[in-house]
Structure 1
Amino acid sequence: MDSTGSTSFPALAGDVEVDVAVVGGGIAGLCTAWELVRAGLQVAIFEADRVASGVTGYTTAKLTAQHGLVYAHLRSSFGADAARQYAASQQDAIAHVAEIVAELDIECDLERLPAFTYLPPESDPGQIEAEVEAATAAGLPASLVTETGLPYRIGAAIRVEQQAQFHPRRYLLALASDLTARGGQIFERTRIVGLDEGEPCRLTSESGATVTAREVVVATHYPIFDRAALFTRLEPRRELVVAAVIDPDDDPAGMYVTPAENTRSVRTAPYGEGRRLLIVTGETFKPGTPGVADRLATLTDWTSERFRVEAFAYHWAAQDNMTTDHVPHVGRLHPGAEHVYVATGFNAWGMSSAVMASRLLTGLIGGDVPPWAALYDPRRVHPTVEAGNFLKANIAVARRFVGDRIRPTTHADSPEDIAPGNGAIVRISGERCAAYRDDAGDLHTVSATCTHLGCLVAFNEVEKTWDCPCHGSRFGTDGTVIQGPATKPLRPREPDGQESGRT
């Protein structure tokens, strides 16, 4: 975000009619729209904020088919063919990005590097051995190693050659420019809030404008329209990220991840003349979990202890949606859907999976269905594989939803107890409100009830947001929607408990 210019596409001002409407302007939406426009269709993107500025604007940008320890899981759960299809689809996505970079001459820092998943020293290497065997059988150039370019010891690791990393926003802004040059339309600051699955389909924007389309793609990260109850099979997860300038001689020359230590991910990126930016991700937590500042301190300390870091240039957080069977949902939205498609649940590997999704959705809409369509079909049912994660995620949501209503959830006795720069849930005239006091001392109060399914939000002290622990919706301190699935803001409340006339 810091190294690219802003966008200024218009908001939707009136009714429009297109072949395909794409809801969401992140990497999945932009790539899908570009593919469809290139195929000769009339396409429009509708983005609630600015394109490539949400989750996509704050990614660590690994473009790789090496997704942790996924191949051993795929082979044991779904068979060797599923693992091969997964590998082929992800490798196809990486190659496709490289082809487009060359075709459009995009300057996006595309680098080919190995990707590693490692375990700490003294760990049982059996998991890595199984992953190397499964990944190799699936067609990846994988090997087992015990030494890497990291400045600390590891145990066993899987190394996969010729993976990639890039600057996704530069890449996507180039696609956006080419898309509009080919006749595609992009509407920003246009929130879609309604969907009628007729023939044709009709979308309704927050302003009341109507979009008529033969086909609709929902690419909003977490689906804002969830007629397949995908929320029961998706679990939002947040991770913190810190970045610091390092000497190029300290570059570990690869992309690294470990599930140990509450996840650690390491890579570098070009950063000015002769420098590299170290990017470290970790400290996984559910949205709405307290103690984010402590987690950030843990991550910065971990990084400083292992790398020669003088100061941190950036910190942020990334949000992912994890599926109960560890495979993304890409395809028709629900069993009865004929013209509405979805792309979601990228399991923290959104770069390659989003490009894969764009290729798959374009094939489904155009009639050239890729061989891996069934693997990613959102209508699939794997009760044996999914049962444990499904029950765990939904019991946690149910406990939160019910528990918030039967036990005290106030975090401050009154708004006067809230210090500047902090927020808390307080009772005002009997209602639980989300109260934030800004640095100037002014109080901002909104309803504490998430407008998605009614869970109570919690304050994120690092990002200064209200986060929903049930399905990951995030709101500004003024109640505005930052991230779905919620499409409506938190209701404004006056400090005296009256509902405000503000919207």
Structure 2
Amino acid sequence: MVNKYRQDKLPESPNSYWTNYDELPNFPKLNTDIHVDAVIVGGGITGITTAYLLTNAGLKVALLESDRLLNGTTGHTTAKITAQHDLIYDELIRNIGIDRAGMYYESNMEALNFIKKTIELHEIDCDFSPQDAWLYATTEKYQEKIEKEAIAYEKLNIKGSLVDSIPFGIEVKNALIMSNQAQFHPVKYLTALVKQIISKGAQIFEQTTAVDVETRIQRTVYTSEKFSVTADYILACSHFPFYEGIGLYSARMHAERSYIIAAKSNIKYPGGMYLSADEPKRSLRSVTINDEEMILIGGESHKTGQSEDTLKHYEALEVFGKHHLGLEAISHRWSAQDLITIDKVPYVGKITQGQDRILIATGYRKWGMTNGTHAAILLSDLVLKRKNNYQDLYRPSRFYPIPSIKNLIVQNANVVEQLIKGKLQLSHITTESIANDEAAILTIDGERKGAYKDKEGKIHIVDTTCTHIGCEVDWNRGERSWDCPCHGSRFSYTGVVLEGPAEKPLQKYDYKMIDNLTSDDSGY
């Protein structure tokens, strides 16, 4: 229950409210070779919605998920269903033109309407609630940006209103409202789609990691346990594409983490979904937990692996909640990770030219409920050879000189900086100085290692070199994971891959063997 948490203490471990929903079925591992019409890799909103659409069209479908369905980004979202994606439309008009900016809005509204109609069709109880979306500014700098965004709304015929206050005790300069948006419980919604999928004969496999694609004889996905799925179409809907081909997606996206707490408040929530235009971001929406109205407070974005103490981000949200929203208790806390492309528009479609039957969907910029749903619509249209007016907008091989060239240079300069920085770090910390449930970087034989001491005092040591391109991971205290600052790969404290693009685990070391080294040799 909510009241078991003290006001001054965050829940000990990350725990998404959405993933507590226990009606989602369990599925087996893939343990044999199979052939299907389409194999979908990734069990989030895009993969599940695509499987729903393709099975409805009569295709034989297999869905592979490396963990549990909906345990990734989709299960750790704020679950806002909206086309108001922060400050985006003025920027899109300047960078890719008014027609494409308008299409971006239209496609996301199409996704919202698809979700609404699907809920009505199947009578899904998923806490769907129409809401207005508010984007607000607390500084003069962002006041001007919101005014420009309001002009962009007018150019694109987006129904919006510019106001000078919001119904909270937060002093703002102005705010921009996008009407008739929505929120819901994503896992309840997608669980209903999963049940529809399996009723039509689709095969779903969990704990099944796809690691490679073979195209020389026939299109085949290989798993980490050497089983294969051959298919007419391969669809990579796995957050970061598990297979890049020659698309160089590692160089064309970066990963960011953000944080959420579910909090009980002593104020009545006034309705609406809110997002600050200023940094650090603050996101607000209501949610009902254990029959009590609570508030989801989100924000604190940063590049993955590039924050000194991730737990402080949760604490900052708590301070904000106490100051502005009368926060009384926190029931849940969790974080999410998403990928951002160099032009801020997702990549959806053919992975590269010449590989027309290998499709990807990625780079949702933290707006996966609509972007991910529309990606599924587009992917299914490509498989079923139906016309889709948004195919060129989301084409993965596109390249707009502005802003892509600048962002590509900045992004990859940061990767080089992080790569060099990590290699130069040395440590003289010893395992004896690490407290239980804490971690540190050690230098052993001149090499960088990561050590985590669990709650029982057992030491877990891993090589901190990411198995993707060799950057050095850093400890994420809020999630108890090793995170890569270059491309966002994440590993458990035992080295297991939590998020790609890395496919191989971090190398583990036997602490007893290391402990026998002399202090001079080990750098302790």
Residue 136 (structure 1) shift? 3.3
The counterpart of 1:284, out of the listed 284, 301, 305, is: 301
Q: 2:262 aligns with which of 233, 243, 253?
A: 243
Distance in 2 between residues matched to 1:143 and 1:198, nearest whole Å: 55
Which of 490, 493, 503 pairs up with 1:477? 493
Query: Which residue, 162, 168, 181 being the options, matches 2:180?
Result: 162
Q: Which residue of 1 aligns with 2:233?
A: 215
Q: By how many angstroms is 1:133 displaced?
A: 2.3
**CA deviation digits over 1:282-315, x for unaligned, max 9?**
1112222212122222221111100121111111
Q: CA deviation at 1:460?
A: 0.8
* Residue 421 of structure 2 corresponds to residue 403 of structure 1: yes
> Which has the larger displacement, 345-354 or 365-374?
365-374
Q: Is the 8 A contact 2:212 2:242 kept in 1?
A: no
Contact 1:197 1:339 in 2 (8 A): no
- State the 1:20 CA deviation: 0.5
Contact 1:25 1:46 in 2 (8 A): yes
Work out the CA distance in 2 between the residues paired with 1:263 and 1:94.
23
SS in 1 for 2:329: coil
Q: Percent of aligned positions with the same letter in both sequences?
A: 34
Residues 192 and 35 of structure 1, relative CA distance in 2, 3 Å threshold:
same
Determine helix, strand or coil for the equivalent of 1:103. Answer: helix
Please state if 1:383 is matched with 2:404: no
Contact 2:235–2:359, Cα closer than 8 Å, also in 1? yes
Question: What is the CA–CA distance in structure 2 between the aligned matches of 1:159 and 1:270, rounded to whole Å?
Answer: 23
Match status 1:113 vs 2:118: no
Cα deviation code 1:422-472 (max 9, x no counterpart)? 111212233322111011111011111111111111111111111111111
Aligned partner letter, 1:447: D
Secondary structure of the corresponding residue to residue 282 of structure 1: strand
Deviation at 1:272, TM superposition (A): 3.4
How many angstroms does 1:3 deviate by?
A: 3.5
CA contact (8 A) 2:60 2:201 kept: yes
Cα distance in 2, alignment partners of residues 124 and 106 from structure 1: 39
The size of the alignment, in residue pairs, is 494
Q: Which residue of 2 aligns with 1:441?
A: 457
Aligned to 1:233: 252
| CA deviation after TM superposition for structure 1 residue 102, in Å | 0.8
- For 1:487, the equivalent position in structure 2 comes to 503
Q: Deviations over 1:362-398 (max 9, x none)?
A: 1111111311111111100112221222111110111
Is residue 199–residue 214 contact of structure 1 (8 Å, CA) maintained in 2? no
Listed one character per residue, the Cα deviations across residues 235-283 of structure 1 (whole Å, up to 9, x for unaligned) are 1001111111235x6213111111313111111112333x212011111
Question: Is it true that 1:453 corresponds to 2:472 in the alignment?
Answer: no
Deviation at 1:219, TM superposition (A): 0.8
Partners in 1 of 2:219 and 2:91 — Cα distance? 38
| Code of the aligned partner of 1:238 | R
Q: TM-score, normalised by structure 2?
A: 0.91
CA contact (8 A) 1:360 1:369 kept: no
Distance 2:393 2:142 in 1: 31
Of 65, 81, 98, which aligns to 1:47? 65
Q: Is 2:439 the partner of 1:420? A: no
Aligned to 1:24: 42
- Taking the aligned partners of 1:414 and 1:334, their CA distance within structure 2 comes to 48
User: CA 1:243 to 1:409, structure 2 compared with 1: closer, same or farther past 3 Å?
Assistant: farther
Q: CA deviation at 1:152?
A: 1.6
For residues 222 and 142 of structure 2, what CA distance do their matches in structure 1 show?
54
Distance in 2 of aligned mates of 1:252 and 1:58? 24
Matched, 1:429 2:448: no
Superimposed CA distance per residue, residues 136-182 of structure 1 (whole angstroms, 9 cap, x where no aligned partner): 33232212111222232211111011101110001111111110101
Letter in 2 for 1:175: L
Of 86-95 and 253-262, deviating more is 253-262
- Which range moved further: 250-259 or 372-381? 250-259
Partner of 1:310, secondary structure, is: strand
- 2:213 aligns to what? 195
Q: What are the residue-to-residue correspondences of 1:47-446 with 2, within 5 Å?
A: 47-120=65-138, 122-123=140-141, 125-198=143-216, 200-227=218-245, 228-246=247-265, 250-273=268-291, 275-288=292-305, 289-405=307-423, 407-410=424-427, 412-446=428-462
SS of residue matched to 1:153: coil
Q: Show the counterpart of 1:501.
A: none
Kept after mapping to 2: 8 A contact 1:257/1:266: yes
TM-score, structure 1 normalization: 0.95
Kindly indicate whether the alpha-carbon contact (under 8 Å) linking 2:96 and 2:400 is maintained by their aligned counterparts in 1. no
CA contact (8 A) 1:200 1:215 kept: no
Letter in 2 for 1:287: T
| Separation in structure 2 between the aligned mates of residue 74 and residue 291 of structure 1, nearest angstrom | 33
SS of 1:435's equivalent in the other structure is: strand
Q: Hey, what's the Cα distance between the residues in 2 that align with 1:57 and 1:99?
A: 22
SS in 1 for 2:502: coil
Q: Runs of at least 4 residues of structure 1 off by over 6 A?
A: none
Q: In structure 2, what is the Cα distance between the partners aligned to 1:197 and 1:138? A: 42
Q: 2 CA distance for matches of 1:124 and 1:215?
A: 45
* SS in structure 1 of the partner of residue 225 of structure 2: coil
Decide whether aligned partners of structure 1 residues 198 and 347 sit closer, same or farther in structure 2, where only a CA change above 3 A counts: same
Q: How does 1:2-17 map to 2 (within 5 A)?
A: 2-17=20-35
For residues 352 and 141 of structure 1, the distance between their equivalents in structure 2, rounded to whole angstroms, comes to: 18
What displacement does 1:334 show? 1.6
Query: Which range moves more in the overlay, 353-362 or 199-208?
Result: 199-208
Q: Give the Cα separation in 1 of the matches to 2:217 and 2:55.
A: 21
Structure 1 unaligned regions, length at least 5: 499-503
- Contact 1:7/1:50, CA 8 A, preserved across alignment: no
| 1:6 Cα offset (Å) | 5.0
Q: Is the CA contact 2:349–2:391 (under 8 Å) kept in the aligned structure 1? A: yes
Letter in 2 for 1:429: D
| Cα distance change of structure 1 residues 99 and 287 upon mapping to structure 2, 3 Å threshold | same
Q: Distance in 1 between matches of 2:45 and 2:176?
A: 27
Structure 2 residue matching 1:312: 3-state secondary structure? strand
1:167 and 1:104 map into 2 onto residues whose CA distance is 15
More off after superposition, 108-117 vs 444-453: 444-453
